Amino acid sequence: MLKINDLNIFYGAIHAVRNVSLEIQQGDIVTLIGANGAGKSSVIRSIMGLVKINSGEIIYTPKNGKPVNISNMPVENRVKSGIALSPEGRRILPQLTVEENLKLGAYIRNDVSGILSDIDYVYTLFPRLKERRKQKGSTLSGGEQQMLALGRALMSRPDLLMLDEPSLGLAPILVDEVFEIIREINSQGKTILLVEQNAWAALKIAKRAYVLETGSINISGTGQELLNDPKIRAAYLGG
């Protein structure tokens, strides 16, 4: 569904992403893990079109469509072709209500009744959001904001859902809950690209995993393989 070949990203003089290649199959959970500053967010943001890439290609195959190189596609067209991102730090719009945040997530759609039923679907996934639907985004707790970010990303009915650090800053109990929900969303047919610092939790649910270290991918494999690989810990804690 998504294939990245030899991706390179520079920020000024910093070579943030070095020759990264990866592949995501339809229906999988794929995770991209690595220590802070390894370049995970840069990769995911370049797929969304929020970061300019310096070389390489990003090839996306929409459901029932042909492969397209989306490297230069405007962001809104990427959303329309079925890619959505729940960004790092949640980025909830603080002065908009929960419901407005969700509606904004459905901006590219025009089917009013479909949108309403999807909002209901999000509320069944996250009942807490329903209680707070008229509250402003800024009044939510961290966990609720994370749920809202997830829900908002679902609102465009994406085929490929990308989650950037969904567990960041959450209490352990909530972390488990979030990962449970990710698994559930996946079981309903969405392909998921998960960027995580919380490697163990991510590896447990991932079909395939890539480990980024200072901008390049040196280790990859199935989630199970990597769970038992001592090199992972070295990547995080030095060795």
Partner 1 sequence: MHKTRNLILTVISVILFALFLNKAPEILNGYWLRIFNLIAINAILALSLNLIYGITGMFSLGHAGFMAIGAYVSALLILPPAQKAAMWILEPIYPFMLNLNTPFIISLIIAGIAAAFFGMLVAIPVLRLGGDYLGIATLGFAEIIRIIITNMTRLTNGSLGLKGIPAYTDLYMSWGCFAVILLCTVCMLNSNFGNILRAVRDDEVAAKMMGVNIFKVKVIAFTLGCFGAGLGGALMGNLITTIDPKMFMITQTYNILMIIVVGGLGSVTGSIIGSFLITIMLEWLRFVENPITIGSFEIPGIPGMRMVIFSLLLIVVIIFRREGIMGTREFSWDIFFPKSKAKKSKPVQNYDHVLEVEHVKLKFGGLTAIEDLNFNIDAGQIIGLIGPNGAGKTSAFNVISGFYKPTEGRIKFLGKQIGGLSPDQVCKAGMSRTFQNIRLFGTETALQNVTVGSWVRQKNSWWMSLLPFIFTDVLREDSEMKTQAMNLLEQLGLSEYANEKASALPYGAQRRLEIARALGTRPKFLLLDEPAAGMNPNESHELMEFIKRLRDEFKLTILLIEHDMKVVMNVCDYIHVLDQGVHIAQGTPSEIRANKKVIEAYLGAGASSENSQEAKF
Partner 2 sequence: MTLNIFVQHFVNALSLGSLYGLISIGYTMVYGILRLINFAHGDIFMLGAYFVFFATIVYKLNWILGVIIAIAATTICGLLVDRIAYRPLRQAPRISALISAIGVSFFIENFAVVVFTGMPRPVVQPKILMKPIILPNKVRLIPLGILVPVVAFILVAALLWLLYKTKPGLAMRAISFDIETTRMLGVDVNKIIALAFGLGSALAAVAGILWALRYPRVEPFMGMTPGIKAFIAAVFGGIGSIPGAMIGGIILGFVEIMSVAFFPNLSGYKDAFAFFLLIVILLFKPTGILGSKIEDKI
Which residues contact partner 1 by CB under 8 A? 11-16, 18, 35-37, 165, 167-169, 172, 175, 197-202, 214-215, 227-228, 230, 232-234, 236-239
Q: Which does 201 bind (CB under 5 to 8 A by kind): partner 2, partner 1, none?
A: partner 1
User: How would DSSP label each residue in the chain?
Assistant: -EEEEEEEEEETTEEEEEEEEEEE-TT-EEEEE-STTSSHHHHHHHHHTSS--SEEEEEE--TTS--EE-TT--HHHHHHTTEEEE-TT----TTSBHHHHHHHHTTT---HHHHHHHHHHHHHH-HHHHHTTTSBGGGS-HHHHHHHHHHHHHTT--SEEEEESTTTT--HHHHHHHHHHHHHHHHTT-EEEEEES-HHHHHHH-SEEEEEETTEEEEEEEHHHHHT-HHHHHHHH--
Closer to partner 1 by CB, 93 or 168: give it. Answer: 168
48 lines the binding site for partner 2 (CB under 8 A): yes
Q: What is the dihedral of CA 216, 218, 222, 223, to 10 degrees?
A: -70
Which option in partner 1, partner 2, none does residue 156 bind, with CB closer than 5 to 8 A by kind?
partner 2
Q: For partner 1, which is the closer residue by CB, 12 or 127? A: 12
Please identify, among the stretches 3-11, 88-96, 140-148, 192-200, the one whose residues bind partner 2 according to the rule CB under 8 A: 88-96
Query: Which of partner 2, partner 1, none is residue 219 near (CB under 5 to 8 Å by kind)?
Result: none
Q: Which is nearer to partner 1, 118 or 164 (CB)?
A: 164
Q: How far is the CB of 111 from partner 2 (least distance, A)?
A: 13
Task: Tell me whether residue 11 or residue 200 sits nearer to partner 2 (CB atom).
Answer: 11
Q: Are strands 2-11 and 14-24 parallel, antiparallel or unpaired?
A: antiparallel
102: left (phi > 0), else alpha (psi -120 to 50), else beta?
alpha
Does 73 sit near partner 2 (CB under 8 A)? no
Work out which of 91, 128, 130, 157 binds partner 2, going by CB under 8 A. 91
Q: Tell which positions 146-165 bind partner 2, by CB under 8 A.
A: 152, 156
| Least separation in angstroms between CB 210 and partner 2 | 22
Q: Which residues bind partner 2 (CB under 8 A)?
A: 48, 50, 74-76, 79-80, 84-85, 87, 91, 93-96, 100, 103-105, 107-108, 152, 156
